[in-house]
Each structure stands twice: as C-alpha cells, then as structure tokens.
C-alpha cells in the first residue's frame, strides 16, 4: 500500500513560481511511475506531468511544457513539480498519483491518489 501526501500549494501572482511536493510511504514507491493531475470544480481531472520509476522518462501536457518540471528523489520517496511562469488558468487542485507500472501510460488509471493541494494564480 502506498500513501501520497501533497504539499506546496498556495496563492501566487501570475508569472510567479511554486514547487509542489508529493511525499510517499511504502517501500515499493520507487518502482512506480508517478503523475501529477489537476482538477477544477465541475471539470474532469486532467493530466499535467508524469515521471518514470527511475526518473529517466518524463511527459508533460502541452499546456505546461516549458513551464513545469517534474522530478523525483527515490531515496527520499518524493516527487516534485516545479511550476514557473504560472498563469491564472493554472488555478486548480493538484493531485499526485502513483501507478503500479514503471512507465506512465495514458490509458492506465493510477492506483493511488493523494488528497490534493490547491494552487491559485491571481492575475
């Protein structure tokens, strides 16, 4: 069993930066692909970024490419999402997820989810 806890959300002005962190429990976390998703009220959860078990492979949604960077530290069981050049449309609840696979796959529903952290970008 893996438990995920997100942190680092908050209020930031447009153009600013935030760093989200996902802390995981469980020895097997280092074998899992990890993804960040976001969701606004009344909307579907959408993919933001993902990283493979070793960190060698990353994927990003087109809307965040060049602005967001995902990274992981398996020794610490953490995955971070560095967000820069933030826009008001990045305002959402951000969720960390883990999948019992070494590489992220779009057609595979993650096995574990965190509780989410709110990111608000003011204009």
Q: How far apart are CA 59 and CA 79, in angstroms?
A: 14
- Looking at residue 106, its pLDDT comes to 85
Which pair of structure tokens corresponds to residue 60? 């990003």
User: What is the 8-class DSSP label of residue 68?
Assistant: E
- pLDDT tens digits, 44-97: 999 999 999 999 999 999 999 999 999 999 999 999 999 999 999 999 999 999
Q: How far apart are CA 47 and CA 49, in angstroms?
A: 6
Radius of gyration of the chain (CA): 13
Residue 52: exposure state from Cβ atoms within 10 A (0-12, 13-18, ≥19): middle
- Between the CA of residue 54 and those of 19, 35, 79, 102, 117, what are the distances in Å? 20, 13, 11, 8, 25
- pLDDT tens digits, 101-120: 999 998 899 999 999 999 99
């Amino acid at each position: 069993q893996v438990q995920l806890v997100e942190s680092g959300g908050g209020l930031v002005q447009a153009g600013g930066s935030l760093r989200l962190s996902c802390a995981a429990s469980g020895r097997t976390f280092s074998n899992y692909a990890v993804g960040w998703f976001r969701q606004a009220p009344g909307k579907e959860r959408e993919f933001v970024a993902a990283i493979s078990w070793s960190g060698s492979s990353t994927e990003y949604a087109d809307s965040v490419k060049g602005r967001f960077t995902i990274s992981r530290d398996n020794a610490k069981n953490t995955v971070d999402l560095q967000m820069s050049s933030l826009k008001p449309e990045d305002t959402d609840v951000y969720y960390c997820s883990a999948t019992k696979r070494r590489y992220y796959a779009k057609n595979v529903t993650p096995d574990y989810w965190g509780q989410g952290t709110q990111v608000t970008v003011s204009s």
